Amino acid sequence: MSNETILNGRYLLTAQQGSGGMAVIYKATDKALGRTVAVKILRPSMTVDPTFIMRFQNEARAIANLTHPNIVTVHDVGTHADTRGTTHYMVMEFVEGPDLKRVIRGDGSGQPLALDLALHYAIQICAGIGFAHRAGIVHADVKPQNVLVNANDQIIKVTDFGIAQALSETQPREREAVVWGSPHYFSPEQAKGEKPTPASDVYSIGIVMFEMLTGRLPFNGTTQQELAMAHVREQPPRVTDFNTEVPAELVNFVARALDKVPANRFRDAAQLGHLLIGLRDRLRIDKINSTYAQMPPVTTGKTGPLPPPPPQGQQGSRPMVPTEPRGSAVPPPPPTNPTAGNRTPPPMPPVAPQSQPQQPQPSRPQVPVQPPMQQPPQPPVVSDVMTQRVSPAPDPYQPPMQPVRPQMPRMSQPVSPAVQPPQPPMVDPNYYNSRPMSPQASEPIPTRGLFDPVTLALAVLAVVAVTCLIPLYIAVFSARG
């Protein structure tokens, strides 16, 4: 087919991109929308079989209903007729990049992919296939050749649902009961000719993961029959037999996906994908922790002991509470936490003569103390000694002020009665008897009279009722007689 081939006057074929057993893929230009697309054309040898044509059309309808970032989008499907015959084609989005098979082969050395890259690809494959499973569609031909890798952002695109089977019951007679995939990747039940299920796609994904992690396939054979029997009878090798760097958890995931019994595998691709995402996140956290553990400890760049604190009174430091040397004229401030049972301030030491002039301090006038028995009768009054309060704690950031207190006698002198320890105040015994204790006690309690209005009203009503009942009783007795 020449480069100037145009299908239905719209799709200009420019280059061949790949080929499979059923179709050939071309890169083309959509002249109507001006975009690059991929056109999948059935081989001429397949167009004579109406079964393959029906399968091709079913592929277009199945993929057209799937919209997912990891599934190739289908734009159009049609038929082109010319002098060379009828061409059946399907138009899909064009993915710029190789397929996964080429990525795995690399330079041909057989080296496996990096662990994080293999997990990145496997998670996206499970996301696309799992979305198809939720839509009731089985791919049934999962292999690296049907997985495209976008070279720009490493996004995976699953394609070629050509032999996919819809699990829904619409038009069951138009679908084949048995679908074969690629011999290297199909499941044991597909090798036996049974109908593929989502577990069959999980088995194929497990083969792809094994190949990405080891660089080789788990089963080999010279013919398709040998490969089919190997899938059915032989146990797959462990991933660690070829790559010891793979975590044990990931090795167990692959082994479970390759189980011979479908019920022992993962339920669908989405379940496997969720487990792979959790494993990837844990591996990233472990890598970060190990990186920080290997880093040298962070230091401030200073070694040796810390410098001593600045002396008191130095500029720039926080002001401290000034203290007075021994023998100073200024007495120390009173205690800040006096005991609860002793409200009398402690005796002040004698004031020595000042050697230097002091600034005048505000003073409080002294209150003369009078004997309590000489006061006229009045409510109890507590003496000044009982009402004195300890001054609050001095501000540590201001110099203390000398409090001015009444002259107190020394402890060696006899204590006058006015400054003795606090005693209960003496009160005139006739003070509380001079007036009633409460206003209610002096008011007389009102008494209700014998014939109040309510009682009289009730009595009148009773008399009226009895007066009305007497004629009734007389009439009843007369009727009986």
pLDDT at 453: 83
Q: How does pLDDT run across 229-254, given as a tens digit for each residue?
A: 999 999 999 999 999 999 999 999 99
- DSSP SS3 for 413: coil
Q: How does pLDDT run across 64-77, given as a tens digit for each residue?
A: 888 999 999 999 98
pLDDT band at 342 (very low <50, low <70, confident <90, very high): very low
57 found inside a domain: yes
pLDDT at 178: 42
Q: Which tokens hold the place of 377?
A: 């009768």
pTM of the predicted model over 0.85: no
184 and 55 in one domain?
Answer: no
Compute the average pLDDT of residues 107-125: 92
Domain end, chosen from 241, 258, 289, is at: 289
104 and 85 in one domain?
Answer: no
First to last CA, the chain: 138
Buried b (16+ CB within 10 A) or exposed e, 142-155: bbbbbbbbeeeeee
Compute the average pLDDT of residues 85-104: 91
pLDDT band at 175 (very low <50, low <70, confident <90, very high): very low
**CA distance readout (Å), 424 to 236, 339, 433:** 102, 19, 19
pLDDT at 272: 97
pLDDT at 414 over 80: no
Compute the average pLDDT of residues 348-356: 53
271 found inside a domain: yes
pLDDT at 5: 87
pLDDT at 39: 94
226 found inside a domain: yes
pLDDT band at 63 (very low <50, low <70, confident <90, very high): confident
378 found inside a domain: no
188 and 76 in one domain?
Answer: no
Domain end, chosen from 77, 93, 109, is at: 93
pLDDT band at 170 (very low <50, low <70, confident <90, very high): very low
Q: How does pLDDT run across 359-385, given as a tens digit for each residue?
A: 555 555 555 555 555 555 555 544 444
pLDDT at 428 over 70: no
pLDDT band at 347 (very low <50, low <70, confident <90, very high): low
177 and 232 in one domain?
Answer: yes
pLDDT at 64: 85
Domain count, the chain: 2
124 and 20 in one domain?
Answer: no
pLDDT at 430: 61
Average pLDDT, the chain: 76
Domain end, chosen from 289, 314, 344, is at: 289
Q: Which tokens hold the place of 214?
A: 């080891």
196 and 119 in one domain?
Answer: yes
Q: Are 189 and 196 in contact (CB under 8 A)?
A: yes
331 found inside a domain: no
- Nearest to residue 112, comparing CAs of 245, 236, 221? 245
Q: How does pLDDT run across 137-155, given as a tens digit for each residue?
A: 888 889 999 999 998 888 9
Domain span holding position 85? 6-93
CATH of the domain at 22: 3.30.200.20
Q: Across 103-107, 159-163, 214-218, which has the greatest mean pLDDT? A: 214-218
Q: How does pLDDT run across 331-340, given as a tens digit for each residue?
A: 555 555 544 4
Which of these is catalytic: 76, 99, 141, 259? 141
E strand spans, 71-146:
74-82, 85-93, 137-138
Q: Across 3-12, 341-350, 369-378, 406-415, which has the greatest mean pLDDT? A: 3-12
123 found inside a domain: yes
CATH of the domain at 245: 1.10.510.10
Compute the average pLDDT of residues 219-231: 89
**Least confident piece of the model among 59-63, 95-99, 231-235, 384-388:** 384-388
Q: How does pLDDT run across 252-311, given as a tens digit for each residue?
A: 999 999 999 999 999 999 999 999 999 999 999 998 888 888 877 766 555 556 666 666
270 and 150 in one domain?
Answer: yes
pLDDT at 173 over 50: no
87 and 128 in one domain?
Answer: no
Q: Which tokens hold the place of 105?
A: 């082969």
237 and 127 in one domain?
Answer: yes
166 found inside a domain: yes
Return the amino acid letter for 3. Answer: N
pLDDT band at 168 (very low <50, low <70, confident <90, very high): very low
Instruction: Please state, for a pLDDT cut of 90, what percent of the chain lies above it.
Output: 35
Q: How does pLDDT run across 304-315, given as a tens digit for each residue?
A: 566 666 665 555
Instruction: Please state, for a pLDDT cut of 70, what percent of the chain lies above it.
Output: 62
Q: Which tokens hold the place of 407?
A: 């002259």
445 found inside a domain: no
pLDDT at 481: 64
Q: SS3 helix, strand, coil % of the chain, rounded to 5?
A: 35, 10, 55
pLDDT at 338: 47
425 against 379, higher pLDDT: 425
Q: What does the CA dihedral 109, 115, 116, 118 come to, rounded to 10 degrees?
A: 60
pLDDT at 393 over 60: no
158 and 73 in one domain?
Answer: no
88 and 105 in one domain?
Answer: no
392 against 385, higher pLDDT: 392
Q: Are 267 and 198 in contact (CB under 8 A)?
A: yes
247 and 232 in one domain?
Answer: yes
pLDDT at 450 over 80: no
Catalytic: 141?
Answer: yes
